């Protein structure tokens, strides 16, 4: 259907009638948002319904309801007063009843926090993501004022909000990388660089990036990353709206998007995030685990100055210590994501002289005998690289180790006398070496003597399995099931 307005701005008038320096706060937001949307729409003037009058007469309310129902998107400026006013509830209801996909086009920002235990929230807010436009404070006794217009945080939030809204109100067929019909598309500048990228540059194959739901403290970074990716040619960004909240609905929606994704990006902080009753591991851990099991490339991030050991929740600490998590500034990580997405796809490697997949068997010096036995057992089904013995030149050892890890289709780690810590360190090293190689890697960590106690939990990378190879007498190794384990994880 055709819409009269691109965006309807809904607010309680008291949010615009605050003492200095916040007086006219909604008007300042409207002015900055209008400018940002014009930029994001490549020069098109957005059609925004924003009425500055305190409307009382019935005929004015009817005009508001008609405008709300004729708007492509809806921006609700939440505050305690917003949930108490009848006309704001009527505006939101008129919008939601005018279309089936209203949830995907509803944007909510909080100018002030609202205590849902004291003031019931409007039903349309249920399960919806709220962007924070007020101060954050851990002291419940301190009032949380709206962000002051003109500050860096206010401007960043407006830009991120504009990017999200623009993605929903662009004219049909127009995307951030498409040619404009009314004027020539401009050259644009790659994020964080001064190097111009011409629109005539070769467009890579279409890539799909899935950005995981993050905790509220990282929403500004999520929006900025979303905005940067939408500027890239041939790149699609998911989800196209907010994920539904609640365990089963969230899982189903995330898996649907995951099936389409080439890359999954997850931003992490010290906050564990929410965990609904039917998803006890929480949204963050579910997304990370689902992405690990998928064929998509997982890119995770945390701030480099975050001290993981001081994070209260043990599960969150484990998540922050995953080998796929990059500890850096956000700007550095954003560049990493863009570089990965824009990297030309690698062509298949030339066929090997042998049809057998290659396996690199690796062990600590104390377990070399077991590694040699394992390699001999695998040799009838795999082309096994023998375990490396310590040469005189340690640099040569490192080069040979990296070469064999890069060229192997699978890696077997022997975890005997060396123990759990050695295997964890090797896994992290393998991830780093293989990060430039997009081929899938299968692997196994084999447990055996001397203690015969069986496996204990260890952090794994995608494609690896942990196997207890201790015989009943606790003194010998068995390897007859290793080949099956490696085939289930990759080539073979």
Supply the CATH number for residue 98's domain: 3.40.50.10140
Q: What pLDDT sits at residue 266?
A: 96
Q: 448 and 363 in one domain?
A: yes
Angle at 25 between CA 22 and CA 26, to 5 degrees: 165
Look at residues 313, 345, 377 and tell me which one is the last residue of a structural domain. Answer: 345
Residue from 276, 242, 469, 458 nearest 371 by CA? 469
| Token output for 272 | 């564990």
Q: What pLDDT sits at residue 265?
A: 96
Host H or E run for residue 265: strand 263-267
Q: 117 and 76 in one domain?
A: yes
> Is 303 domain-assigned?
yes
Q: 227 and 136 in one domain?
A: no
* CA–CA separation, 321 and 316 (whole Å): 9
* CA–CA separation, 41 and 58 (whole Å): 35
Beta bridge partners of 106: 74
> Is 447 domain-assigned?
yes
> Is 190 domain-assigned?
no
> Is 188 domain-assigned?
no
pLDDT (tens, 9 = 90+) of the chain, 492 residues, equals 678 999 999 998 776 666 566 668 888 889 889 988 988 887 788 999 987 644 444 447 788 889 999 999 999 998 888 988 888 899 999 999 998 888 888 999 888 888 777 888 888 887 677 788 887 655 556 667 788 888 878 888 888 888 888 888 876 544 444 333 222 222 223 333 333 333 333 444 478 999 999 988 888 788 788 878 877 778 888 887 678 888 888 999 999 999 999 999 999 999 988 888 899 999 999 999 999 989 899 999 999 899 988 998 988 998 998 888 999 999 899 899 998 998 876 655 554 444 566 777 888 777 777 777 777 666 655 555 555 555 445 566 666 777 777 777 777 777 777 767 777 777 777 777 766 555 556 666 666 654 545 555 555 566 666 666 665 343 344 444 455 445 544 433
CATH of the domain at 237: 3.40.50.450
CATH of the domain at 418: 3.40.50
Q: 372 and 337 in one domain?
A: no
Q: 396 and 273 in one domain?
A: no
Q: 159 and 41 in one domain?
A: yes
> Is 199 domain-assigned?
no
Q: 480 and 411 in one domain?
A: yes
Q: 284 and 315 in one domain?
A: yes
Dihedral, CA of residue 109, residue 51, residue 37 and residue 33, to nearest 10: -50
Angular region, 341: left φ>0, alpha ψ -120 to 50, beta rest? alpha
* CA–CA separation, 426 and 442 (whole Å): 14
Q: 210 and 317 in one domain?
A: yes
Look at residues 316, 345, 374 and tell me which one is the last residue of a structural domain. Answer: 345
> Is 186 domain-assigned?
no
Give the domain range for residue 333.
204-345
Q: 264 and 381 in one domain?
A: no
Number of domains in the chain: 3
* CA–CA separation, 391 and 431 (whole Å): 24
Q: 221 and 110 in one domain?
A: no
> Is 350 domain-assigned?
no
> Is 193 domain-assigned?
no
């Amino acid at each position: 259907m055709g819409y009269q307005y691109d965006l309807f701005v809904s607010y309680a008038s008291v949010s615009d009638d605050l003492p200095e320096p916040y007086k006219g706060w909604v008007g300042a937001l409207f002015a900055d948002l209008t400018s940002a949307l014009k930029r994001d729409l490549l020069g098109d003037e957005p059609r925004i319904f924003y009425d500055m009058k305190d409307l009382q007469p019935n005929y004015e309310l009817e005009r508001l309801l008609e405008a709300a129902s004729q708007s492509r998107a809806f921006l609700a400026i939440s505050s305690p007063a917003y949930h108490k006013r009848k006309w704001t509830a009527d505006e939101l209801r008129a919008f939601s009843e005018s279309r089936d996909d209203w949830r995907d086009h509803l944007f909510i920002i909080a100018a002030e926090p609202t205590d849902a235990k004291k003031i019931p929230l409007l039903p349309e807010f249920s399960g919806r993501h709220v962007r924070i436009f007020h101060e954050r404070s851990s002291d419940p006794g301190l009032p949380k004022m709206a962000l002051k217009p003109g500050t860096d945080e206010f401007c960043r939030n407006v830009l991120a909000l504009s990017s999200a809204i623009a993605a929903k109100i662009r004219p049909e067929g127009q995307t951030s990388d498409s040619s404009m019909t009314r004027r020539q598309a401009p050259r644009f500048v790659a994020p964080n660089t001064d190097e111009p990228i011409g629109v005539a540059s070769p467009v890579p194959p279409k890539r799909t990036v899935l950005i995981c739901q993050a905790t509220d403290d990282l929403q500004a970074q999520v929006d900025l990353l979303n905005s940067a990716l939408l500027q890239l040619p041939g790149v699609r960004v998911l989800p196209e709206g907010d994920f539904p909240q609640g365990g089963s609905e969230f899982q189903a929606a995330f898996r649907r998007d995951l099936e389409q994704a080439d890359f999954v990006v997850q931003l992490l902080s010290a906050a564990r995030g929410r965990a609904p009753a039917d998803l006890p591991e929480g949204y963050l851990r579910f997304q990370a685990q689902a992405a690990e099991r998928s064929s998509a490339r997982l890119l995770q991030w945390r701030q480099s100055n975050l001290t993981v050991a001081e994070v209260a929740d043990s599960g969150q600490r484990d998540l922050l210590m995953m080998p796929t998590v990059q500890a850096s500034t956000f700007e550095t990580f954003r560049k990493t994501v863009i570089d990965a997405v824009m990297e030309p796809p690698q062509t298949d490697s030339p066929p090997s002289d042998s049809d057998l997949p290659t396996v690199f068997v690796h062990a600590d010096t104390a377990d070399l005998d077991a590694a040699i036995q394992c390699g001999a057992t695998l040799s009838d089904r795999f082309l096994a690289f023998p375990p490396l013995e310590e040469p005189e030149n340690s640099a040569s050892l490192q080069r040979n180790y990296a070469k064999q890890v890069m060229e192997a289709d699978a890696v077997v780690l022997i975890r005997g006398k060396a123990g759990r810590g050695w295997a964890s360190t090797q896994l992290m090293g393998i991830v780093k070496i293989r990060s430039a190689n997009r081929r899938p890697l299968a692997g196994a960590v084999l447990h055996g003597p001397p203690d015969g106690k069986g496996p204990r939990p260890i952090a794994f990378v995608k494609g690896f399995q942990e196997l207890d190879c201790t015989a009943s007498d606790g003194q010998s190794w068995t390897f007859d099931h290793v080949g099956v384990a490696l085939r289930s994880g990759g080539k073979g």
